[in-house]
Structure 1
Amino acid sequence: MTLLATIEASYYSGGKRSFYAKFILAAAIVLIALSAIQFSSLGTKAHPRQLVDFDDFYIVGQMVWHGDVDKAYLVHSIGEIPASPARGKTLLLWTYPPPFDVLVATFPLTSRWIAYCLFIVGSFAAYLAILRRLATESFVLALIVTFPVLVVEIRCGQNGFVTGALIGLTCLYLRRGSALAGVPLGLMAIKPHLAVAFAIYTLATRRWRTAVAACGTVAATAIVATLVLGIEVWAAFFHSIKQAGFFLAHGYYPLYRMVSFYAAARTLGLPASLAMFVQAVVAVAALTMVVAASRRFSLQQSLGLTAIASLLISPYAYDYDLPILGVGLALLLPDILQFGTAFERSLLYLSAFFACGFGLVAAVVLDPQGTKIMLDESMPVSLGGLALLCVFGLAWRILRRGQASTPQAQDATPAEIKTDSVFEVPSG
């Protein structure tokens, strides 16, 4: 049996699907347990534990309670923060919008490892539940080809499961024709650069009620953040955006972990201005394709393409943002399996797996100490974005072939779409 047939057995065979699902869940549980043990200790003074993303979340949460969260946007070294357990010159480049500060403020209400478990287990469970609703039979196949990003998320305690769940829920409600799609889309204010493609899709398809709901949600979260944190936090936040632009231009990030064309261009030796121009071209092309997909393909197909395109817009996109890729593939895999050739499917699966796993492998093999945060000759080349574009291009090509071989699909009206939201709103 070929590798392709083995992978796709998770779609066609209920027994294989169950086996792979149990294996992935068991692997995730083991990884979460090992990570929780890691978070239960900060190491010794002589051998401190290397801090990861969740540690930053926890530190900023403590700063909220200390009443000085605005300093998180201004301080360069974690060691300078009183609430920090860090030693040395590890950088904290905090650029999250204030509504996310309100979320992380809940983490210090318990110990670090318990907060980690609650956050990762809760967000992972929500992501899986929503992905299962979107994917049905292709659920496990989508998990297989994006498996490395599950490891990345659990390992560093990032918020990719949260954004993946929000984008997935947006797709669920859009598939139902419900204006409630604007609520999870508005909650993407915690990472607005990942919501641009869906904002354009909403406007292109003239879903005005969804747009209003999204704007209202953004306004509500901003008001809550202002009431909790104070108005001055916004000035600090906008200052941090300018600061992040400076750091990005000068390569003060682990660019090999990014999945943007900017990162690829910079690590290949292009100057910052030319790399940003390349990124802008890719972003404009991706958004143009989103508008075209909304008119050319079925609702489910256009949503899947929009989810993948959302990862091609910003220069600041990391491998831990790729649970959104799982959402896109979950929507597209039935058509990919039906209309794609064996070579196209193999290349698409390999590209998705590579995009999700390249940064992880590079970090473990080439940068185990996490020290390559400065662009120089030792920085590994960023290849995730190239693989991501390959996934998008192959998916588009396959859908076009399917469109040519079948009668033009018409989107179902909201009344004809089966209700499948995991957050059903009762009537009356």
Structure 2
Amino acid sequence: MIERQAHSLATSPLALKVMLTALAMLMTLTGVTFHLVSQNGQGGIFVDFHAFYAAGSLALEGHAGDAYRMATMEIVQQRIAGHETFMPWTYPPPFTLFVAGLATLPLGLGYALFTGLSLAGYLLMLRRIAGNFLPGVVLALLPVLVLGVITGQNGFLTGALTGWFVLALLARKPGAGLPLGLMIIKPHLAAGIAMLTVAQRRWQAVVTAAGVVLAALVIPTLVFGLPIWTAFADGVRESGAFLAEGRYPMHRMTSPYAFALGLGAAPGLAFAIQGASALAAIGLLGLAWHRHLSPRLLAACACAATLFVSPYAYDYDLTLLGVALALVLPDLLRRTGRAEQAALLMLAWSATGYGLIASLLGNGEAVRVPQQPLALMAPLLLVLIGWAAMVKRRRLLPRPDIAAAPPGAVDLPVGALGTVSAAS
């Protein structure tokens, strides 16, 4: 009876409706607040979507390159927020062109359209992968979803692109290259899935992705001119210096670099630790491919490995973890009891929501590392992923009420990415 209740929560339509309704209400409140504050000119809390809007506004004024100079961007951000802020702009020019389109709309409307549509695309993708287990995925990912809604970040967009790529790749569709190519907006988050594509010799997808990337590079060049790339390169160098100085909110970063820097390591040592973690993550993904893990598990490994590649990775990028969870949740439920499921859920909330809670309880501003909460997201994520990996290696519990494949999920060919081994 207890196990059936745990299972029912992971597949409960009522639980899903409650969570989605709460997210919709939060999004409406946030959008209305953004609109009223911008109309009154009183300033207010400055979040990521405001930075999108600031960069887009500069682009519309014919000064897209200025978005990559913090001295200029800081002035625009202060005008919007009404107080000093620190959000350097390091997105590639294709995304700068995209946010220029958003800046043609009123702030609140632009936020609502971008966040609402990207969240819808992300949830639809999760439904295709997880099937009837979508409520369980949303429940485990709730801190990330709340964070994405209140900040208007692009985590829903990158998560949706990653998930739709996984679906297309597992179904052996050449169109997998389209979402892969669109990840040019955050190329460091495509490391795992790009490696998977090459390892599987999916050359049609590679060619399609290359074509999309080429178009994404040419179009903003035609719109902004060649100097936009010089400005972008200068902005990346400037942000690298800021990262070494610890001027970002490191407690919201998920990278081993942030964890090491927070413990007092010198920037050089912290970068070395990050490099080692990136090599280890990619190496483990290669080992998973070599062992011929099941298609869904291998795709989940690719999403998880990506989280540890770049030193610049934030809590809102953990939408990729949601894709991995959607791929393996039914298997985890079939190997765990209710108590362990509750413990895993608490750990998932801690690992994904630590940065948000630390910001609310402490000084959430972008100040120097010694003044910030300790960056604990990387070790928490490692424990969570390691625990899930150990669970996956266990024998199945006698659980006839949980199907081996998620009901309602997309039917993926078992041999799409290799044969299923006993270890998978």
Alignment TM-score, normalising by the size of structure 2: 0.89
- Higher mean displacement: 393-402 or 25-34: 393-402
> What's 1:142 paired with?
137
1:306 paired with 2:329, answer: no
Deviations 1:201-245 (A, max 9, x none): 111222222222222211111111111221111111111111111
- Higher mean displacement: 85-94 or 146-155: 85-94
- What aligned pairs does 1:28-177 form with structure 2 within 5 A after superposition? 28-42=23-37, 48-76=43-71, 78-81=73-76, 84-177=79-172
Match of 2:221 among 221, 226, 246: 226
> What's 1:321 paired with?
317
Q: 1:395 to 1:212 in 2, by over 3 A?
A: farther
- What aligned pairs does 1:168-207 form with structure 2 within 5 A after superposition? 168-207=163-202
Question: 8 Å contact 2:256–2:311 — kept in the other structure?
Answer: yes
Distance 2:336 2:202 in 1: 31
Q: CA deviation at 1:299?
A: 0.5
Question: 8 Å contact 1:145–1:349 — kept in the other structure?
Answer: yes
Which amino acid is the alignment partner of residue 96 of structure 1? Y
Question: 8 Å contact 1:59–1:83 — kept in the other structure?
Answer: no
Q: CA deviation at 1:98?
A: 0.5
Secondary structure (helix, strand or coil) at the match of 1:105 reads helix
Distance 2:74 2:305 in 1: 38
Secondary structure (helix, strand or coil) at the match of 2:310 reads coil
> What's 1:397 paired with?
390
- Higher mean displacement: 41-50 or 213-222: 41-50
Deviations 1:395-418 (A, max 9, x none): 322333359x9xxxx963569xxx
1:19 paired with 2:18, answer: no
Distance 1:257 1:145 in 2: 18
Question: 8 Å contact 1:76–1:91 — kept in the other structure?
Answer: no
Match of 1:380 among 373, 380, 383: 373
Secondary structure (helix, strand or coil) at the match of 1:76 reads helix
1:239 paired with 2:234, answer: yes
Question: 8 Å contact 2:251–2:258 — kept in the other structure?
Answer: yes
1:412 paired with 2:414, answer: yes
Distance 1:173 1:77 in 2: 41
Distance 1:132 1:308 in 2: 19
> What's 1:418 paired with?
none
CA RMSD of aligned residues (A): 2.5
Q: CA deviation at 1:76?
A: 2.9
> What's 1:425 paired with?
none
Q: 1:169 to 1:110 in 2, by over 3 A?
A: same
Match of 2:280 among 253, 278, 285: 285
Which amino acid is the alignment partner of residue 133 of structure 1? R
Which amino acid is the alignment partner of residue 412 of structure 1? V
Match of 1:214 among 209, 228, 236: 209
Secondary structure (helix, strand or coil) at the match of 2:80 reads coil
Deviations 1:181-201 (A, max 9, x none): 111011011011111111111
Secondary structure (helix, strand or coil) at the match of 1:351 reads helix
Distance 1:329 1:234 in 2: 37
Q: CA deviation at 1:294?
A: 2.2
Distance 1:93 1:113 in 2: 22
> What's 2:404 paired with?
none
Which amino acid is the alignment partner of residue 392 of structure 1? I
Q: CA deviation at 1:379?
A: 0.9
Question: 8 Å contact 1:145–1:353 — kept in the other structure?
Answer: yes
Q: CA deviation at 1:268?
A: 1.4
Distance 1:398 1:223 in 2: 46
> What's 1:332 paired with?
328
Distance 1:43 1:192 in 2: 32
Aligned residues: 402
Question: 8 Å contact 2:144–2:319 — kept in the other structure?
Answer: yes
Deviations 1:318-363 (A, max 9, x none): 0011111111100011111223466654443333211211111111
Question: 8 Å contact 2:55–2:73 — kept in the other structure?
Answer: no
Q: 1:344 to 1:312 in 2, by over 3 A?
A: farther
Question: 8 Å contact 1:262–1:315 — kept in the other structure?
Answer: yes
Distance 2:385 2:114 in 1: 30
> What's 1:426 paired with?
none
- Higher mean displacement: 82-91 or 201-210: 82-91
Distance 2:6 2:151 in 1: 27
Question: 8 Å contact 1:52–1:157 — kept in the other structure?
Answer: yes
> What's 1:10 paired with?
9
Deviations 1:263-296 (A, max 9, x none): 1111111111111111111111111111222233
> What's 2:408 paired with?
none
Secondary structure (helix, strand or coil) at the match of 1:113 reads helix
Structure 1 spans left out of the alignment, 5+ residues = 416-428
Distance 2:117 2:305 in 1: 26
Question: 8 Å contact 2:351–2:380 — kept in the other structure?
Answer: yes
Q: CA deviation at 1:249?
A: 0.5
> What's 1:360 paired with?
356
Which amino acid is the alignment partner of residue 354 of structure 1? S
- Higher mean displacement: 271-280 or 164-173: 271-280
Question: 8 Å contact 1:254–1:372 — kept in the other structure?
Answer: yes
Secondary structure (helix, strand or coil) at the match of 1:195 reads helix
Distance 1:46 1:393 in 2: 48
Question: 8 Å contact 2:172–2:416 — kept in the other structure?
Answer: yes
Question: 8 Å contact 1:97–1:190 — kept in the other structure?
Answer: yes
- What aligned pairs does 1:263-282 form with structure 2 within 5 A after superposition? 263-282=258-277
Which amino acid is the alignment partner of residue 197 of structure 2? T
Secondary structure (helix, strand or coil) at the match of 1:124 reads helix
